[in-house]
């Protein structure tokens, strides 16, 4: 039976047309074959009487369906609803993708969201057709398939790296989900994988994607010693890893090195959020193209709102960069990293070698390293102490409005900073940065007033980003925010 929130006729129309835009937004269960597929599966379209539509792969698995080995329904972009929605279910999915259930159990997930385990079970089952354990199981199966097909790890290593508690559980899950033994899924690993266990992945996205804007953003916000235009150090639950990011026509290439394999899912989830790869960009562009933003959409389709792979780094970077140029902010942040950041467990031959300072390190010594107005230094040290002491939380499961209010309540954080961090850290798609100087100037040049920007709701973050992009990539010597 189709989930009540999914319209059968609309979903079946997407299935008939093999519309890739719906991949990841729902899955198709086929009663006659016992498998589930993505909407764009190239197989013959099943009869209407034999299909139903569910929101998640976990719901399909819970009903006894197996993943199609032709279209690989788990190898698609994530749901844009989980990426941008602020409700409890969407925030829970972001944390599940980050591996919270594997690390802290359902109790840890519920605590992070401020609910009891029983309440959370009821919410997720009603919304997605499966509870947190089933959703986490589906996530582990996806991670296992990636490891089986992209690395030379042994079966035991794959089992524990994917988050399973035993090899038997791993074998049973793979057979149930994919109707095949793990050895049957084993691909031919890259020759590089056998050398240093590096993992190279292709991250799918919904086309189009403006890679020029993302490249600019990564380069402009690189921190000396910690990141470059192509590389990011990821601070993960079991240790740091080095991520190399590249762009192709149909995917983003992610090469992970020095990774504790238990952190594979978290690493992928954080890079996807950094690059906003799960956005339903066709819907966004279509909405913006109906008004004054139409010329900007035509000239550069697929502009994303870059997020963050590390909320604390983004908070400090944004606060350091207030009212100074991007170049000056990089200098200040480079000094902070050099003096307070711990060394990475690899050499400079690999890439950046300094981790971003921890909240505790900045709380203790930031006032002696940071430069600038004393009020800003005190504000940065204060928020670092609040995070280190557990008084303030910053993660993908925090509600955007709550995050915004908590930031505004901090001394030294104004409306612009709270808005910008709500957009990038909490992933709010509807933040109008109309007080930003670059946005305001560009809007004026294009004869777009505040009402015109307001009319782009619920995609005002994307409208703001398009104004930034137009200015920063077409006007020489123009710089954006330093975060």
Domains annotated for the chain, with CATH where assigned, are: 8-67 (3.40.10.10), 80-150+153-185 (1.10.10.60), 196-279 (3.30.310.20)
Active-site hit among 23, 280, 434, 436: 436
* CA pair distance 282, 307, nearest whole angstrom: 19
Q: Give me the residues paired with residue 52 across strands.
A: 29
Residue 37 annotated among the catalytic residues of the structure? yes
> What's the pLDDT score for residue 333?
97
Instruction: Give the three-class secondary structure for 230.
Output: coil
Region of 181 please: left (phi>0), alpha (psi -120 to 50) or beta.
beta
Active-site hit among 11, 23, 37, 41: 37
Distance of CA 65 to the CA centre of its chain: 28
Write out the two tokens for 211: 């890679």
* CA pair distance 74, 60, nearest whole angstrom: 12
Degrees to nearest 5, angle at CA 427 with 363 and 273: 85
Pairing of strands 35-37, 66-67: parallel
CA max distance for the chain: 70
Dihedral of alpha carbons 163, 133, 148, 396, sign: negative
Distance of CA 287 to the CA centre of its chain: 22
* CA pair distance 247, 260, nearest whole angstrom: 24
User: Phi and psi at residue 230, in whole multiples of 5°?
Assistant: -110, -10
Query: pLDDT averaged over consecutive 10-residue blocks of the chain (483 residues)?
Result: 76 90 91 95 94 94 92 86 81 93 95 94 93 95 87 87 91 92 78 58 92 96 96 96 95 94 91 96 94 95 97 96 88 97 94 97 97 94 96 88 92 93 93 92 93 94 96 67 48
> What's the pLDDT score for residue 35?
95
* CA pair distance 141, 163, nearest whole angstrom: 9
> What's the pLDDT score for residue 80?
83
User: Phi and psi at residue 2, in whole multiples of 5°?
Assistant: -70, 140
Residue 71 annotated among the catalytic residues of the structure? no
* CA pair distance 167, 111, nearest whole angstrom: 29
* CA pair distance 167, 193, nearest whole angstrom: 22
> What's the pLDDT score for residue 480?
55
CB neighbourhood size of 472 (10 A) = 18
Q: Give me the residues paired with residue 236 across strands.
A: 239
> What's the pLDDT score for residue 194?
41
User: Phi and psi at residue 346, in whole multiples of 5°?
Assistant: -155, 175
> What's the pLDDT score for residue 479?
55
Q: Which residues of 288-297 are buried (b: 16+ CB within 10 A; e: fewer)?
A: beeebbeebb
Write out the two tokens for 202: 């292709």
* CA pair distance 285, 283, nearest whole angstrom: 6
SS3 content of the chain, % helix, strand, coil (to 5): 50, 10, 40
């Amino acid at each position: 039976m189709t989930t009540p929130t999914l319209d059968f006729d609309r979903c079946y129309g997407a299935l008939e047309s093999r519309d890739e835009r719906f991949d990841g937004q729902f899955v198709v269960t086929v009663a006659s074959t016992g498998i589930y597929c993505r909407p764009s599966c190239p197989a013959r379209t099943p009869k209407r009487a034999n299909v139903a539509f569910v929101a998640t792969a976990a719901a399909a698995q819970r009903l006894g369906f197996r993943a199609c080995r032709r279209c690989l329904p788990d190898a698609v972009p994530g749901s844009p609803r989980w990426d941008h929605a602020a409700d409890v279910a969407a925030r829970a999915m972001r944390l599940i993708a980050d591996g919270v259930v594997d690390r802290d159990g359902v109790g840890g997930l519920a605590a992070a969201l401020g609910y009891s385990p029983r309440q959370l079970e009821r919410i997720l089952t009603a919304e997605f057709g499966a509870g947190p354990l089933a959703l986490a199981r589906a996530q582990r199966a996806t991670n296992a398939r990636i490891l089986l097909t992209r690395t030379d790890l042994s079966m035991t290593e794959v089992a524990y790296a994917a988050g399973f508690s035993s090899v038997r559980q791993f074998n049973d899950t793979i057979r149930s989900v994919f109707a095949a033994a793990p050895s049957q899924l084993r691909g031919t690993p890259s020759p590089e994988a056998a050398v240093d266990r590096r993992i190279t992945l292709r991250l799918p996205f919904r086309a189009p994607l403006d890679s020029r804007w993302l490249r600019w953003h990564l380069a402009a916000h690189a921190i000396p010693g910690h990141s470059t235009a192509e590389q990011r150090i990821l601070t993960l639950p079991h240790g740091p890893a080095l991520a190399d990011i590249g762009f192709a026509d149909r995917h983003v290439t992610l090469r992970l090195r020095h990774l504790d394999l238990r952190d594979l899912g978290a690493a992928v989830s954080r890079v996807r959020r950094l690059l906003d790869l799960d956005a339903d960009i066709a819907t966004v562009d279509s909405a913006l193209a109906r008004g004054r933003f139409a010329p900007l959409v035509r000239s550069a389709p697929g502009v994303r709102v870059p997020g963050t792979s590390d909320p604390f780094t983004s908070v400090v970077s944004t606060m350091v960069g207030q009212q100074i140029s991007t170049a000056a902010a990089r200098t200040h942040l480079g000094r902070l990293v050099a003096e307070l950041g711990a060394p990475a467990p690899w050499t400079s031959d690999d890439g950046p070698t300094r981790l971003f300072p921890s909240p505790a390190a900045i709380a203790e010594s930031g006032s002696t390293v940071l430069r600038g107005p004393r009020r800003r230094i005190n504000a940065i040290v204060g928020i670092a102490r609040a995070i280190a002491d557990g008084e303030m939380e910053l993660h993908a499961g925090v509600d955007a409005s709550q995050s915004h209010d908590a930031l505004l309540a901090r001394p030294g954080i104004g409306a612009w900073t709270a808005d910008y961090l709500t957009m990038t850290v909490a992933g709010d798609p509807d933040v109008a940065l109309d007080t930003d100087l670059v946005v305001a100037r560009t809007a004026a040049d294009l004869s777009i007033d505040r009402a015109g920007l307001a009319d782009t709701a619920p995609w005002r973050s994307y409208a703001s980003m398009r104004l930034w992009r137009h200015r920063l990539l077409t006007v020489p010597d123009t710089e954006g925010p330093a975060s």
